[in-house]
Structure 1
Amino acid sequence: MEVKNFKMVAKTLFGLEELLAQELRHLGASNIEIGTRNVSFEGDTGFMYKANLCCRTAIKILKPIHAFNIFTEEDLYKKIYEMPWENYMSVSGTLAVNATVFSDVFTHSQYIALKTKDAIVDRFRDREGSRPDVDLDHPTLRINIHIDRNICTVSLDSSGESLHKRGYKIESTLAPINEVLAAGLIMLAGWNGQCDFLDPMCGGGTILTEAAMIACNIPPNLNRDEFGFETWPDFDVDLFEKIESSALKKIREFPHKIWGYDTDAVAIRKAKENIKSANLQDFIEVKHQDFFESEKMTEKPLYMVFNPPYDERISINDIETFYSSIGNTLKRSYPGTQAWMITSNFEALKYVGLRPSKKIKLFNGKLEAKLVRYEIYEGSRKASKQ
């Protein structure tokens, strides 16, 4: 039987597009094109399953099924109504519609989603005498509407819930970092398990968990309860299990150490619970420890990736002193370390007192942020280069 490739679109966070393209290329995608917060590519049904299971920096994997021009709300309703929705779900199923709009004519995404839902349920009611219900939490079918000026693209959401919801996080802290962003930080830093790793302000342990999965090449979404495609009429459970089994065979040993510190005993407890939930307690050690009173535990090279408080969701009494202490601790106690830190507090960043060797623009939620690299050498920088 001929295996047909089709176009898909993977959505991601700003600044992670190149990483996602690299992931898709490594997994075997074809015709990869990078956009803003998205990467389009081609693959077959098995690849769609694999992309959902294995992509660390994807938020959604969408399968476009139709595109058309619209100029009025009536156009949208008519074109959606004419689509054969009975091929994608039954009248006894449930649906949820999400819409994004970039148009002068269509400006309200929730209204577009509502209009789309009306057209679909009206088609079922007219054809079968009853209509499917809406379920925003666990629908049989998630539908994505994307309007760019006058072009409407209708896609099926193969992921279901956002792929940042890996399934291992059972305890949340006050200002948790998105799992996709955490994986992206580690990958942008260039760490893939080649040496020891430290998150000195680990909170609920998200960066630590993502680091361990990267180091061991564990599929990031292995712990999820379900994907959107599992409720589709054409879901091939045997093919999915084959894809999953193949991914599991590629898990590797990790000979180095991953540590996490935090001054909050409650955060440490939550981190331990999350790490245990991910079955990664053999690879990660977390300590109730003040980073500012710590020092590097070995002479081996160390990667450090962390997300310190920005004085936004977590308040800091003296943000200048706090960021100054970060720089002083790195200089005093962490020679031979490549330290990467993300923050949206650009003013506080000046008090670190170290010159970043790299800056990358990202967003943490709605906050514009910078991922910066500090290279802490043994002795002077000049001597290290020599």
Structure 2
Amino acid sequence: MTLLQTFQFFAPCPRGLEALLAQELSQLGARDVRPSDGGVAFAGAPMLMYKVNLQSRLASRVLWKLAERPYRTEEDIYQLARGVEWPALFALENTIKVSVTAVKSPLRSPEFAGLKVKDAVCDAFRAKTGARPSVDTQEPDMRIQLFLTDRMAVVYLDTSGEPLFKRGYRRETGAAPLRENLAAGIVQLSGWNPDEPLLDPMCGSGTILIEAAMLARKIAPGLKRSFAFQQFRDFAPAIWQRIKDEAIAAQTGQPLALFGRDIDARALRHAEANMQAAGVADAITLQQGDYLDAAAPADHGVLVTNPPYGVRLEEQQHLMSLYPQWGNVLKQYFAGWRAYFFTGDMQLAKVIRLKASKRTPLFNGALDCRLFEFVMVKGGNRD
């Protein structure tokens, strides 16, 4: 990898955020930006790859495309991977892991195809050094990704390491916390402006509020963590330091009106710890209390929340009784606000008895979800 050369990359993201991610990548300087289902392909130099890892709020990883060709057999896969000069990319001492994603692949066992990639990597090192790298399936230094369609095979090297939604600030978590890049996307989809008040009345460990604060203050989400590309042979520490210094210089201390509520005192302690670690605790006011007792903290603003949605029958029945009460609270106390509910429960918009002005499909992992928008106007909205 030479610093001036252009390479092809692919950034996966939560499904539903592809258009936002494409816009973000373009703003960071990416070229040939091409959204597809589940991610965005783009081109650029290594400096851009450094910057995307540091700055992207929406990507899950940044994958470097190393090789691509049509295939029919596992031997084709081996030859594809064997054509990569692996010892020029990372050291023998680096541990490796090969993962496979297959969509309509004709191969009987995609996992066996992954083993062929691992064999190709090890054979390349053995031919060059007389030894082979070790496999580590838990915390590898180098993650190699094989992607198979019905006729094409692509080999990627993961430049990120740990997923990019792991910002490095999370100290405490509640049950099933929202992933940070999905939370950042939800905030952006709400159209929230940093000059507006923002309330999460069921804030849990505070992810939505923290991501909003980091967005508003231009805090690069990757500043508190390390990346796999820092172990690449051609890693340029001076350039990386300059990119980080520029990101730090761009931060602001903009005052913000961010408010979080939760009925669970333990969740609020978790949120406080996370906000302190992220460096945004001064921007967010936390309060313990039931959403049903919540008064609006201002005469206008944006409410964004990820309410619980039940898996067991008794949970679903309890929530069904709460939804109309939430609707009443919005109607009584939040005229002049825009409210956004992110949920996997498609019944919410119907049972809350408010007319949703927008329903944005999003995926939380494999779970089909919706971001419901309710624009609260006095005397209106009743469905």
- Please report the TM-score for the alignment, with normalisation by the length of structure 2: 0.94
Aligned to 1:53: 54
User: What are the within-5 Å matches in structure 2 for residues 355-366 of structure 1?
Assistant: 355-366=355-366
Is the contact made by 2:174 and 2:270 (CA closer than 8 Å) also made in structure 1?
Answer: yes
Aligned to 1:31: 32
* CA–CA separation in structure 1 for the residues paired with 2:148 and 2:39: 15
Aligned to 1:320: 320
Query: How many residue pairs align between the two structures?
Result: 379
Q: Aligned letter for 1:294?
A: A
Aligned to 2:251: 251
Q: What's the secondary structure of 1:33's corresponding residue?
A: strand
State which drifts further: 82-91 or 54-63. 82-91
Q: 1:130 to 1:258 in 2, by over 3 A?
A: same
* CA–CA separation in structure 1 for the residues paired with 2:108 and 2:208: 37
* CA–CA separation in structure 1 for the residues paired with 2:6 and 2:124: 29
Is the contact made by 1:97 and 1:113 (CA closer than 8 Å) also made in structure 2?
Answer: yes
Q: 1:84 to 1:207 in 2, by over 3 A?
A: same
Following superposition, the deviation at residue 136 of structure 1 comes to 2.9
Is the contact made by 1:208 and 1:284 (CA closer than 8 Å) also made in structure 2?
Answer: yes
* CA–CA separation in structure 2 for the residues paired with 1:32 and 1:182: 23
Is the contact made by 1:52 and 1:61 (CA closer than 8 Å) also made in structure 2?
Answer: yes
* CA–CA separation in structure 2 for the residues paired with 1:327 and 1:59: 34
List runs of 5+ in structure 1 lacking aligned partners: none
Aligned to 1:308: 307
Following superposition, the deviation at residue 108 of structure 1 comes to 3.8
User: What are the within-5 Å matches in structure 2 for residues 1-386 of structure 1?
Assistant: 3-106=4-107, 108-224=109-225, 226-299=226-299, 301-312=300-311, 315=315, 318-377=318-377, 379-381=378-380
* CA–CA separation in structure 2 for the residues paired with 1:78 and 1:25: 34
Q: What's the secondary structure of 1:204's corresponding residue?
A: coil
* CA–CA separation in structure 2 for the residues paired with 1:372 and 1:34: 24
* CA–CA separation in structure 2 for the residues paired with 1:205 and 1:143: 33
Following superposition, the deviation at residue 346 of structure 1 comes to 1.3
* CA–CA separation in structure 2 for the residues paired with 1:248 and 1:334: 37
Q: What RMSD in Å do the two structures reach over aligned CA positions?
A: 1.9
Q: What's the secondary structure of 2:19's corresponding residue?
A: helix
Q: 1:107 to 1:33 in 2, by over 3 A?
A: farther
* CA–CA separation in structure 2 for the residues paired with 1:373 and 1:262: 21
State which drifts further: 228-237 or 145-154. 145-154
* CA–CA separation in structure 2 for the residues paired with 1:356 and 1:288: 28
* CA–CA separation in structure 1 for the residues paired with 2:172 and 2:358: 33
* CA–CA separation in structure 2 for the residues paired with 1:186 and 1:71: 43
* CA–CA separation in structure 2 for the residues paired with 1:141 and 1:319: 44
Following superposition, the deviation at residue 127 of structure 1 comes to 4.2
Following superposition, the deviation at residue 157 of structure 1 comes to 0.7
Following superposition, the deviation at residue 317 of structure 1 comes to 5.3
Q: What's the secondary structure of 2:342's corresponding residue?
A: strand
- Please report the TM-score for the alignment, with normalisation by the length of structure 1: 0.93
Is the contact made by 1:67 and 1:151 (CA closer than 8 Å) also made in structure 2?
Answer: yes
Percent sequence identity over matched residues?
36
Q: What's the secondary structure of 1:10's corresponding residue?
A: strand
* CA–CA separation in structure 2 for the residues paired with 1:20 and 1:41: 11
Q: 1:341 to 1:266 in 2, by over 3 A?
A: same
Following superposition, the deviation at residue 107 of structure 1 comes to 5.0
Q: What's the secondary structure of 2:315's corresponding residue?
A: coil
* CA–CA separation in structure 2 for the residues paired with 1:2 and 1:254: 35
Q: 1:177 to 1:108 in 2, by over 3 A?
A: farther
Following superposition, the deviation at residue 327 of structure 1 comes to 0.6
Is the contact made by 1:24 and 1:51 (CA closer than 8 Å) also made in structure 2?
Answer: yes
List runs of 5+ in structure 2 lacking aligned partners: none
Q: Aligned letter for 1:372?
A: F
> What is the CA deviation profile of residues 321-340 of structure 1, one whole-angstrom value per residue up to 9, with x for unaligned ones?
11111111101111211110
